[in-house]
Structure 1
Amino acid sequence: MDSLSAISEELAEIDGQIADIFRALSNGFQKLEKIKDPSRQSRQLEELTEKMRECKRLIKDFDREVKEVENRNSPDSNRMLNDKKQSMIKELNSYVALKKQYASNLENNKRVDLFDGPGGEEENVLLASSMSNQQLIDRGNEMLDETDQSIERSKQVVQQTINVGAETAAALKEQTEQMSRIVNELDSIHFSIKKASQLVKEIGRQVATDKCIMALLFLIVIGVIAIIIVKLVNPHNKNIQDIPGLAPPAPARKLLWDQN
């Protein structure tokens, strides 16, 4: 630890954490040997596995820190650090192998004997070697019946799943058709709005034209009224003599024999 502190405080701290985990793993496996309950053994193995994962992460941090300070160290220091890392990996692998061994033993203990019955410990003690042929046949028939029932339940579950899938597919198809109809209706509405907009523009142009015509007629009527007023006020005005209906009547022509 002191030599690591002289090289890097970070390396010394990581080394201390790894050493603490190794002590915890050693104590944990010793405790595991005394546990007889399979469920407690399983929980203890899970805790030890979590500690081994943490140790693996710390070893990676240790290796990364070693590479960062490698250029500043002497060859002897680098060799010492590499040996330290290899020692950590070797010790961790030994605990991993021990964990696999315990896990395998625990799995073997959990296996149920082929001829174990559901009636309790007294039936579990009954082994195949102590059974008669008829008992073996009866037990085999019971297991076949249980297997058939399990298969039948599985078929029912599969059929229910198929039915739910078919209903879901039908619902999706109906929704897709409904969405397609909505899209078509939206296209129709858009087309109608476009036609209505064009019609409004045409009506607007016609109204503008009609307004121009009405304005022109209004001006003509105003002009005629003005001329009539002027004629009434000044009937001898020569400028409006030639306007039809406003000029004074022409003098009566005298015949030649009337003069004679």
Structure 2
Amino acid sequence: MDPLSAISEELAEIDGQIADIFRALSNGFQKLEKIKDSNRQSRQLEELTGKMRECKRLIKEFDREIKDMESRNDPATTKMLNEKKQSMIKELNSYVALKKQFATNLDNKKIDLFDGPTEELGEENVLLASNMSNQQLMDNGHQMMDETDQAIERTKKVVHDTVNVGTETAAALKAQTEQMSRIVNELDSIHFSIKKASQLVKEIGRQVATDKCIMALLFLIVVGVIAIIIVKIANPNNKDIRDIPGLAPPATRKLLWYPR
């Protein structure tokens, strides 16, 4: 059983992660020695540098855990944990030094790659210029000026095309903005129309309700009149309905003659 597990599960977990990184660093530097291509060596070195940063972060976390537990641990345990931390730092520093060594070798290789051809090219240009006559030098200068003018013209064309593209884009954006404004206005009109239609429907509903009430009242009046007529026909001597206008029998009219 890991002695750190008896002290703290957090410390044991951090110690295991650091040990895994140290194994990966060891294997990585062994592979780095076998790689001949400088680009692949650079990528491998960057990957190992990232692992070392992660290892440094875990060691700091390990140190914080030790300080948090210092009041609960006895001096012997605290001493053992600090020695463990120092051992981790020492091993990490060894990989950092190894990384610096490989980085220096890579930089030297890059310098050799860039400096060698440059020096040869410079010597070749000097020899070429010394062997050329004045007319050849002038012709060569004119040719370089023509090439420069052509490059400038191509640059102007690119700038001109870029300006045209920008103008077309601005016009398209303006047209889209106007179209969006028209759509918003149409939506406002539709909303207003829907609101007016809703109000009209409510008014029609109220009018229909009023007409229904009037029709119901008329229906009741007609039914009442029909009922009175039926009762009068069935019982013509009923005094309760004799005085109803239009249903009472005609009164006997007497003509009064007044003498002169």
TM-score between both structures, scaled by the size of structure 2 = 0.75
Which of residues 107, 115, 128 in structure 1 aligns to 2:114?
107
Instruction: Say if 1:219 and 1:51 are closer, same or farther in 2 by CA, change over 3 A.
Output: same
TM-score between both structures, scaled by the size of structure 1 = 0.75
- Answer with 127-136 or 80-89: which moved more: 80-89
Matches for 1:23-34 after TM superposition, within 5 Å: 23-28=30-35, 31=36
Give the secondary-structure state (helix, strand or coil) at the position aligned to 1:127: helix
The CA distance in 1 between the partners of 2:30 and 2:212, in whole Å, is 104
1:121 matched residue in structure 2: none
2:103 matched residue in structure 1: 96
Matches for 1:209-220 after TM superposition, within 5 Å: 209-220=210-221
Between Structure 1 and Structure 2, how many residues are aligned? 230
1:235 matched residue in structure 2: 236
- For 1:55, the aligned partner's letter is L
Identity across matched positions, percent = 52
Deviation at 1:252, TM superposition (A): 3.8
Structure 2, unpaired ranges of 5+: 1-11, 67-76
The CA distance in 2 between the partners of 1:200 and 1:47, in whole Å, is 79
1:201 matched residue in structure 2: 202
Instruction: Say if 1:11 and 1:218 are closer, same or farther in 2 by CA, change over 3 A.
Output: closer
For residues 111-157 of structure 1, the C-alpha deviation after alignment (integer angstroms, 9 at most, x for no partner) is: 595898xxxxxxx8962222222222211211111111111111111
State the Cα RMSD in Å.
3.1
2:92 matched residue in structure 1: 85
Deviation at 1:191, TM superposition (A): 0.4
- For 1:128, the aligned partner's letter is A
Deviation at 1:86, TM superposition (A): 2.1
Structure 1, unpaired ranges of 5+: 1-6, 32-43, 117-123
Which of residues 33, 39, 48 in structure 1 aligns to 2:41?
48
Deviation at 1:245, TM superposition (A): 1.4
- Answer with 15-24 or 156-165: which moved more: 15-24
Instruction: Say if 1:227 and 1:138 are closer, same or farther in 2 by CA, change over 3 A.
Output: same
Instruction: Say if 1:184 and 1:103 are closer, same or farther in 2 by CA, change over 3 A.
Output: same
Instruction: Say if 1:66 and 1:253 are closer, same or farther in 2 by CA, change over 3 A.
Output: closer
